[in-house]
């Protein structure tokens, strides 16, 4: 599972100067279409372009794209529910091929019933989705943030409480297991109330695939197992356990009385 910055709702602002590709935001609801980078062009060298994209895919194992073709027109689509920097940088590599062969951008729809080629890097399926066994541990995602070039952030988060006298040791143990999993960003919001500390724990990464480097991978199954050991060790209680709106406000780690413990990275991502 890939955690970190991704684009889904809005295009990256001012960092990828595309000549051919255009960003199409995801469509939610019943349509449930992913975000896409798409370009359509005409060329006299379609076969050569297809050959060179196949060679490119062999160099970048996390890349994938679909090519549709009709006559001298071709369309390339890179689509996913989370587009990372790696995907945008790979699209720029494709643009180099198109410019090399004098392709001309053209507004033309090519049907999915036409000739289709799927290009897929050798490690595209490596980041499989992990379903947590513990329902209190969740994937969360932010809205697009202008200071992050309109990116959203996917993270893992959970809430729990423990005796306040154990808070320091709990945070030390949490940092050990998070460092072991190489999360780039790890922070805890906590609030003390009537002898207990209520925590909101968040872990994530930053931008994925910069300079077309490999993705940062976290073993979330092992992370979950380690969390469960800590929960048992400190006799933690999952969730907030509020009995009324007022009780919730007294306990939930937000607003007045909340402390932020930054154990790694930058909390502005979430």
The secondary structure of 186-224 as a DSSP string is EEEEEEEETTEEEEEEEEE--BSSGGGPPPP---HHHHH
Question: In this structure, what DSSP letter does residue 254 have?
Answer: S
pLDDT higher than threshold 50 for residue 30: no
Q: Across-strand partners of 155?
A: 140
Pair 251, 241: CB distance under 8 Å? yes
**What token pair was written down for 43?**
């060329």
Q: How many CA atoms lie within 13 A of 202 on its CB side?
A: 25
Query: How many Cβ atoms sit within 10 Å of the Cβ of residue 254?
Result: 11
Taking 70 as the threshold, does the pLDDT of residue 198 lie above it? yes
Judged on CB neighbours under 10 Å (0-12, 13-18, 19+), 150 is buried
Q: Please list the residue range(s) of the chain that carry CATH number 3.30.70.
A: 138-269
Residues 127 and 95: their CA atoms lie apart, in Å, by 26
CATH class of 138-269: alpha beta
Give the contacts of 228 (CB within 8 A, at least 6 positions apart).
134
What is the C-alpha to C-alpha distance for residues 143 and 189, in angstroms, rounded to an integer?
19
Tens of pLDDT along 90-123?
Answer: 999 999 999 999 999 999 888 888 789 999 999 8
What's the rounded mean pLDDT across residues 171-188?
92
For residue 109, the model assigns a pLDDT of 86
């Amino acid at each position: 599972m890939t955690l970190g910055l991704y684009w889904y709702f809005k295009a990256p602002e001012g960092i990828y100067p595309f000549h051919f590709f255009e960003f199409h935001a995801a469509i939610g609801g019943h349509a449930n279409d992913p975000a896409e980078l798409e370009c359509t062009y005409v060329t006299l060298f379609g076969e050569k372009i297809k050959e060179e994209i196949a060679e490119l895919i062999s160099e970048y194992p996390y890349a994938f794209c679909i090519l549709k073709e009709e006559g001298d027109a071709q369309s390339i689509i890179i689509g996913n529910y989370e587009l990372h920097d790696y995907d945008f940088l790979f699209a720029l590599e494709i643009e180099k091929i198109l410019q090399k062969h004098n392709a001309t951008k053209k507004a033309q729809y090519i049907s999915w019933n036409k000739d289709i080629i799927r290009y897929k890097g050798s490690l595209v399926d490596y980041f499989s989705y992990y379903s947590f066994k513990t329902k209190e541990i969740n994937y969360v995602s932010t809205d697009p943030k202008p200071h992050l070039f309109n990116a959203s952030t996917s993270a893992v988060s959970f809430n729990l409480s423990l005796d306040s006298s154990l808070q320091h040791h709990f945070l030390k143990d949490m940092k050990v297991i998070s460092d072991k999993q190489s999360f780039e960003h790890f922070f805890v919001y906590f609030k003390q109330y009537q002898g207990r500390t209520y925590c909101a724990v968040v872990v994530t990464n930053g931008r994925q695939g910069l300079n077309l480097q490999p993705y940062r991978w976290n073993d979330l199954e092992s992370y979950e197992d380690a969390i469960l050991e800590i929960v048992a060790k400190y006799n933690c209680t999952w969730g907030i356990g509020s009995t009324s709106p007022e009780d919730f406000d007294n306990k939930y780690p937000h607003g007045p009385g909340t402390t932020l413990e930054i154990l790694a990275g930058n909390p502005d991502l979430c």
